[in-house]
A and B are shown apart, each in its own frame.
Chain A
């Protein structure tokens, strides 16, 4: 499994190929969303909705062998593409790696300019929720070890 840093570098390279073509970039995001593993229906429930997103975004996380795995979906294609990028970067890493991750790829691919401030806030809410899950799992593990 590549490091969070390496995955981010890969994404930056892929987006560089789109060379600031907004239409192509949005289509690409939508494609990424289409390709993301579907979220099982059972996880598409209201308590999995991320607060602070204009669109509906469902996020499910689980811990296996010390690593956090995320699954997600959205009711809009572009947002599904956005969360698929975050899942790709963060899923399969340890809580510490996730908590320490500096997600600079977002800024490097100019995502804020592409999606505007409202969706950027939504993107930040997604990141926060993903990190909160990591923190939750970490706390749970620690209390298991101590208890």
Chain B
């Protein structure tokens, strides 16, 4: 079944939806806040904030195994989010959704359980040169431990991957391909559906890092046919401290548990413990109940607007920003792939990204500067970092103009 549930209205009323984000009403350094650091984390709509306080004010209780009313209400709300995630990514079953702290923990979980069980000496793992440290370091650690080989698919100058290179790297000893759907530094959208199919032909499993994709596009795990998918709630209008890991049932069932503790067991004696079924096998201890519950409101928000609408709006902002910045002498864009999410990295010639970032902050414009947790990628371009503007559904074309004007002013001052 394709995911067709998230179409939303035909057009977006951005002014109206901005009023639903309290933080967007504030000023920074005497200017209206222009928040363009959405790839790091998005702002939260009132309904997410309210859900947190409503939970703590009305039905705070530990979930599962509770017979009292509050525990039942909390359990229902918690499990309702699981179902909402299942629908959002079109997973076949709700048990295939595991709650974690975030994308990083989701990837670490796979490395620690699937990795330690199914990846060994003589095998290899393929990642790309544009991965976030979260999708590099867990695999490096695993390879160090098991003697498996880490293979890195190089990034081309424009920020795209070369599928011919990919096919050369893949072989029958590839246990896993771990790749981002969209790059948090370059914005590049990778052809992950094709890459997944190619990997499967070689018998390799595929993990998709959807941290930068889920907030901006339709993600359908059945269509992609990935074995794992990781993402963070806080990058799609939800609370911090919640992530998801989707895994195919057959794979999750074959994997050992992640951490030991409450919730993940079926029966414990000192002689032997039997484990609970998925997803609980991977959710030891009391989870982040409040934030998981509030995450459902973020999903509701995104569905109400429609992911296609969100994607279209952000694409227009990206185009405007790209053209506006490109027109400046002394501004270099980093990452010019044909297909991108709303992430725009650039540098003002002769100016360190930190300096540009501080100058923009003085004008109330929030961007991120530095290596964006992709140090190998930044090194590949021979630079110290980038200034990164990243867009969300509540950003406006006036805000993009503000960015373009500010950058052009700073670049002019620098050239003088």
Contacts and interface: CB of A to CB of B under 8 A. Distances in A.
Is chain B a partner of chain A in the same complex? yes
Interface of A: 22-23, 25-27, 30, 54-55, 75-79, 115
B363 interface: yes
Contacts of B384: 75
Given A26-B362, A75-B384, A54 B413 contact: no
B195 interface: no
B359 A23 contact: yes
B354 A54 contact: yes
5 contacts: A26-B355, A27-B359, A55-B354, A75-B352, A78-B358
Contacts of B327: none
A75 B352 CA distance: 7
Nearest to B29: A22
B169 interface: no
Contacts of B354: 54-55, 76, 78-79
Contact of A26 (B30, B352, B358): B358
Q: Interface centre among A22, A23, A77, by most B CB within 10 Å?
A: A23
Nearest to B364: A22
Contacts, number: 31
Majority secondary structure, A binding face: helix
Given A22-B361, A23-B363, A26-B359, 19 more contacts: A22-B29, A22-B30, A22-B362, A23-B359, A23-B362, A25-B362, A26-B355, A26-B362, A27-B413, A30-B355, A55-B352, A55-B354, A76-B352, A76-B355, A77-B351, A77-B352, A78-B354, A78-B355, A79-B354
A75 B363 CA distance: 23
A134 B363 CA distance: 39
Q: Interface centre among B30, B358, B413, by most A CB within 10 Å?
A: B358
B355 A77 contact: yes
7 nearest CB pairs, A to B: A22-B362, A76-B352, A23-B362, A77-B355, A76-B354, A78-B355, A22-B29
Nearest to A24: B362
Contacts of B351: 77
A115 B362 CA distance: 10
Nearest to A31: B413
Interface residues of B, number: 13
A9 to B, nearest CB: 25
Nearest to A77: B355
A31 to B, nearest CB: 9
B268 to A, nearest CB: 46
B82 to A, nearest CB: 38
Contacts of B363: 23
Interface string B17-41: 0000000000001100000000000
Nearest to A115: B358
A79 to B, nearest CB: 8
Interface string B126-166: 00000000000000000000000000000000000000000
Contacts of A55: 352, 354
Contacts of A115: 358
Contacts of B29: 22
A55 B354 CA distance: 8
A114 B183 CA distance: 32
B34 to A, nearest CB: 14
A79 B351 CA distance: 12
Contacts of A76: 352, 354-355
Contacts of B361: 22
Interface string B28-61: 0110000000000000000000000000000000
A39 to B, nearest CB: 16
A85 to B, nearest CB: 16
A55 B362 CA distance: 19
A26 B414 CA distance: 12
Contacts of B413: 27
Interface string B321-365: 000000000000000000000000000000110110011011100
A25 B359 CA distance: 10
A22 B360 CA distance: 10
Contacts of A23: 359, 362-363
A112 to B, nearest CB: 14
A78 B360 CA distance: 13
A84 to B, nearest CB: 14
A12 B361 CA distance: 23
B111 to A, nearest CB: 30
Contacts of B355: 26, 30, 76-78
A78 B30 CA distance: 21
A11 to B, nearest CB: 19
Contacts of A79: 354
Nearest to B30: A22
B184 to A, nearest CB: 20
Nearest to B28: A22
A23 B405 CA distance: 14
A75 B351 CA distance: 9
Nearest to B351: A77
Contacts of B358: 26, 78, 115
A79 B354 CA distance: 9
A126 to B, nearest CB: 16
Q: Interface centre among A22, A26, A79, by most B CB within 10 Å?
A: A22
